[in-house]
Amino acid sequence: LPKENRSFFYPSASLSYVFSDHLKLPSVINQAKLRLSYARIGKDASEYSTFTGYSPYGSLPTGTGGLTIAANLGNPDLLPEFTNTYEAGLEMSFFKNRLGFDFTYYYSLSQDQIIQTQISSAVGYVTKSINAGDIRNRGVELVINGKPIVGKDFNWSVNLNLSANRNKVLNMPNGIKEIVYGAARGYGNAGVTMKLIEGQPYGNIYGSYFQRYSPNPQDPIVLDKNLPLLIGTNGFPIISGGTQRLLGNSQPDYIIGLGNTFNYKNFSLNVLFDARLGFEKYNWLEDFYSAFGLPDYTTDRRSFKTFEGVLANGTPNTKQVWLGQTTGPDNVNYGEGYYRIYYRNVSEPFVSDASWVRLRSASLSYRFPQNWLPAKAIKNASLSVTGNNLWLWTKYYGVDPESSSYDAGSNNDGSAGFTYPSSRQILFTLNVGF
């Protein structure tokens, strides 16, 4: 950061009260605690955000390396980024600590966030580092721990984690209506952008769409998918062209984790499920696949169809069209066909529900009895088999929606496709203690 902005203060404080120590509560309650906390976290910019440098370039015709101007335009006036977080929580345990929960409500305000926003290439750069305004996050977290079965030879314990977060861009820097912080290119106009817009949530995905009909003015940001399609005089839906509307959001409504541990004598089984529900991603892979007739829904490309919708005058569409290529049975030339001319060139069909549930891991282990081991040489030994990424349920087409088209540190998390899938692993482990 600039010299005048390098020094910043970020305090924190917490307070808790175990009220079960002072109040007479039902005997089933073992402990009850309230807690409050506040934390202010400061963050400076990366080393290449405040000045414009050079990047190595090794593709010169001479075979020697050189330097080229970096893609990001540095900003010497950057301010530190601050996040103020307030939390309130309640912890309780019951039935001799066999059941318990930890509930947290939090409110977080991030100010002057440092991001790289896209700028006009006419200035000679791709992005610029800026302070991007304020974003609010608020939500709840719930952890439930239980021991349903406690016995001499068999025990079962369970752990459930639930969280829900909602966010909103509260304000933007003066004079800036929107900030593009991510993008994914598709066929024609089928790419998407991720933008910060005042009053809208972080993670919104914007793209081209099939136009809708309404006698009233439509929302300039949000696409109302309940409105009827606007059909052209040629019988096909009309594409929005260069304009974009809100098609989805990359941030999940709910994050869930469920872990179970079963112990029977010397055997132990651990099973972990996790889920992300209620979010969307742009599917690059499906966009390209649809152009070449790979998805099942393109099998109708050798048939006639009447698209449900209305004409510009508000009357229902009744025109039948051929979905295939070149000249159809009606002697009309349809060129490259519906899926290549229309469908693949619009973002809307490919921003889809990316919710998933997966069996993250399962592990079975056996602890060898002590009398099986050399008394002096080996103190303990166990053998285990572990599987990771064993099962996935999702409606997302053709690719694991947990994957991203960009690096893990990127904010551009609204697309998937053209990436290697997550690997499934089986591990065998022998642990020996001496």
Q: What is the pLDDT of residues 306-346, one digit of tens each?
A: 999 999 999 999 999 999 999 999 999 999 999 999 999 99
Whether residue 383 is contained in a domain is answered as no
CA distance 41 to 246: 31
| pLDDT-above-70 percentage for the chain | 95
Q: Which of 423, 426, 424, 273 is nearest to 359 (CA)?
A: 273
Whether residue 423 is contained in a domain is answered as no
Predicted pLDDT at 107: 97
Question: Could you tell me how many helices (H) and strands (E) the chain has, helices first?
Answer: 2, 25
- Amino acid at position 344, single letter: R
Whether residue 425 is contained in a domain is answered as no
336 contacts 345 by C-beta, under 8 angstroms: no
The alpha carbon dihedral of 323, 328, 329, 332 has a sign of: positive
CA distance 393 to 350: 19
Whether residue 36 is contained in a domain is answered as yes
Whether residue 405 is contained in a domain is answered as yes
Q: Which residues contact 298 (CB under 8 A, 6 or more apart)?
A: 290, 339
Q: Provide the 3-class DSSP secondary structure of residue 166.
A: strand
Q: Where in the sequence is the domain holding 285, given as residue range(s)? A: 3-375+389-418
Whether residue 384 is contained in a domain is answered as no
**Strands 280-283, 415-416: parallel, antiparallel or unpaired by DSSP?**
parallel
CA distance 297 to 342: 15
Per-residue pLDDT at 409 exceeds 60: no
Mean pLDDT of 362-391: 88
Whether residue 212 is contained in a domain is answered as yes
Whether residue 426 is contained in a domain is answered as no
As given in the structure block, the two tokens for residue 29 are: 């309650």
CA distance 324 to 246: 30
Task: Tell me what the pLDDT averaged over the chain comes to.
Answer: 89
Burial of 65 (0-12, 13-18, 19+ CB in 10 A): exposed
Predicted pLDDT at 147: 95
Q: What is the pLDDT of residues 148-183, one digit of tens each?
A: 999 999 999 999 999 999 999 998 877 788 888 888
Phi, psi at 224, each rounded to 5°: -90, 100
Q: Provide the 3-class DSSP secondary structure of residue 433.
A: strand
168 contacts 139 by C-beta, under 8 angstroms: no
Q: Which of 60, 45, 32, 48 is nearest to 1 (CA)?
A: 45
179 contacts 198 by C-beta, under 8 angstroms: no
The alpha carbon dihedral of 330, 333, 335, 341 has a sign of: negative
CA distance 327 to 432: 73
- Amino acid at position 186, single letter: G
The alpha carbon dihedral of 13, 111, 52, 7 has a sign of: negative
Per-residue pLDDT at 59 exceeds 80: no
Q: What is the CA radius of gyration of the chain?
A: 28
Q: Indicate the helix (H) or strand (E) that contains 180.
A: strand 178-184
CA–CA distance from 191 to each of 103, 203, 344 (Å)?
40, 16, 10
Mean pLDDT of 404-418: 73
Give the 3-state secondary structure of 51-76: CCCEEEECCCCCCCCEEEECCEECCC
Edge-to-edge strand order for the sheet containing 72-73?
Answer: 72-73, 127-131, 114-118
Predicted pLDDT at 432: 86
Q: Which residues contact 377 (CB under 8 A, 6 or more apart)?
A: 434
253 contacts 222 by C-beta, under 8 angstroms: no
Residue, of 252 and 3, whose pLDDT is higher: 252
CA distance 112 to 23: 44
pTM score, two decimals?
0.84
Q: Number of folded domains in the chain? A: 1
CA–CA distance from 33 to each of 30, 64, 425 (Å)?
10, 66, 41
Mean pLDDT of 111-119: 77
